[in-house]
Structure 1
Amino acid sequence: ELHLHTDHLNLTCSTFHDVHMIRWRLAIEEFGPTFHSVPGSSNVVADALSRLPITDEELEENPTVTMAAVEAAMSGEFTVDMRVIAAEQKNDKDIGESEEREIAGVLVLVHPKSKKILVPTRLRLRLVQNYHDLLLHPGAATMVITIGQVFYSRGIEPDERKLTDNYLACLKAKHPATRYGKLPPKSVEVCPWFEIADDLIGPYGRKRFRALTIIDTATRLIEILPATDATSMEAAYLMDRYWFARYPRPTRCIHDGGSEFKREFAELQDNYGVERVATMTRNHQANSVIERVHRVIVEKIRTKSINTQDEWANFLNDTMFAMRASNHSMLKVHRLSWHSDVTCWWALPTKQIGKRSINAR
Structure 2
Amino acid sequence: KNKDFLILYDENSKLSFTHKIKHNIRTVDNIPIHTKSYKYPQIFEDEVKQQVKKMLRDGIIKESISPYTSPVWVVPKKTDSSGKKKFRLVIDYRKLNEKTINDKYPIPDITDILDKLGRACYFSTVDLVSGFHQIQLANEDMEKTAFSVNSGKYEFTRMPFGLKNAPATFQRVMDCILREHLGKFCLVYMDDIIIFSPSFQEHKVHISKIFRKLKEANLKIQHEKCEFFRKEVQFLGHTVTEHGVKPNNDKIEVIRSWPIPKTEKDIRQFLGILGYYRRFIKDFAKLVKPLTNLLRKEIEIEMTPEIIKCFEKCKKILTLDPILIYPDFSKEFILTTDASDFAIGAVLSQGPIGQDRPVAYASRTLNKTEERYSTTEKELLAIIWAVKHFRPYLYGRKFKLYTDHQPLTFSLTNANNKIIRWRLMLEEFDYEIIYKPGKQNVIADALSQSDDMTAHSADTSDDYFIPCTEKPLNVFRNQIILKISHIETEAYEQIFPKYHRHTVVKATYTEEAIVDLFKRYLNPKGTNGLLLPISLTQLVQETFRKHFSSNRLFKVFISETLLRDLRLDNEQDDVVREAHNHGHRGTKENKMQILQTYFFPQIDRIVKIFVKSCEICKKAKYNRKPPKLIQKSTTGDKPFNRVHIDIFFLQGKKWLTIVDSFSKFANAIPLETRTIIDIKQAFSEHIRQFGRPETIICDQEPSFRSIDFIGFLDDLGIAIHFASSSNSNGIIERFHSTLIEIFRTTKPKYSELTLEEHVNVAIDIYNNTFHEATKAKPREVVFNTTNIEFNKRQAKLEKLNQDRNDPVRLETGENVIIKNSQRLTKDKNPFKITTVKTDNILTFKDKNNVKIHKNRIKN
Higher RCO (CA 8 Å, separation ≥ 6 residues): 1
Same fold (TM over 0.5): no
When normalised by structure 1's length, the TM-score is 0.41
When normalised by structure 2's length, the TM-score is 0.18
